[in-house]
Amino acid sequence: MIRAFESSDMNDVLNIWLEASIGAHGFVGKEFWESRIDDMREIYIPDSDTYVFSENGTVKGFFSLHTDSLAAMFVSPGAQGKGIGQQLMNKAKWLRRKLNLSVYCENEKSIQFYRKCGFKPVKERANEHTGHIEILMEYSS
C-alpha cells in the first residue's frame, strides 16, 4: 500500500535511504551518505511531498517530490526486484504530469529503471557535493 509519509515513518525512511544509497553508489564513500542523514531528516524530507510503500506495517520504499522534481526514490535493498519501485513511480506520475530527476552516470541500474519508466536524458553535469557526473532526466505524460 502506498500512503502519505507520517512522522513515525522517519527512521524507516532514513534507514532505507542510507542503506540503498550506499548500495547503489559504491563510487561515493559511505561517509558522505552518513554525513547527509541530518539534512535528510531536517531539510529534505520535511520540504518534500513524501509517500511510502508499506506492507504488513513495514515501510519498504519511498519517494519524495519537491515541486516537479523526483528528489528521491528508494526501495529497501531486501525488497528490490518485486515491483515496489514501479508502484512508487506510478504513484509519482499520477501526482505530477511532468517530473525531472538527476541520477549518477555510474548508477546504471537506476538509469535503466528510469528509462523503462519513460524518462529521457536531457543533459549531464557534475554533482555539486560529490563531483561525480549525473544525468538530468525528464518525464512528461
Average pLDDT over all residues of the chain: 95
Assess whether pLDDT exceeds 90 at residue 89. Answer: yes
Predicted local distance difference test score (pLDDT) of residue 34: 94
Number of separate domains in the chain? 1
Range of the domain at 94: 2-140
pLDDT in tens, 103-123: 999 999 999 999 999 999 999
Amino acid 50: pLDDT: 98
Better-scored residue on pLDDT, 84 or 26: 84
Q: What is the pTM of this model?
A: 0.93
Q: Which residues of 83-103 are buried (b: 16+ CB within 10 A; e: fewer)?
A: ebbeebbebbbeebeebbbbb
Which CATH number covers residue 55?
3.40.630.30
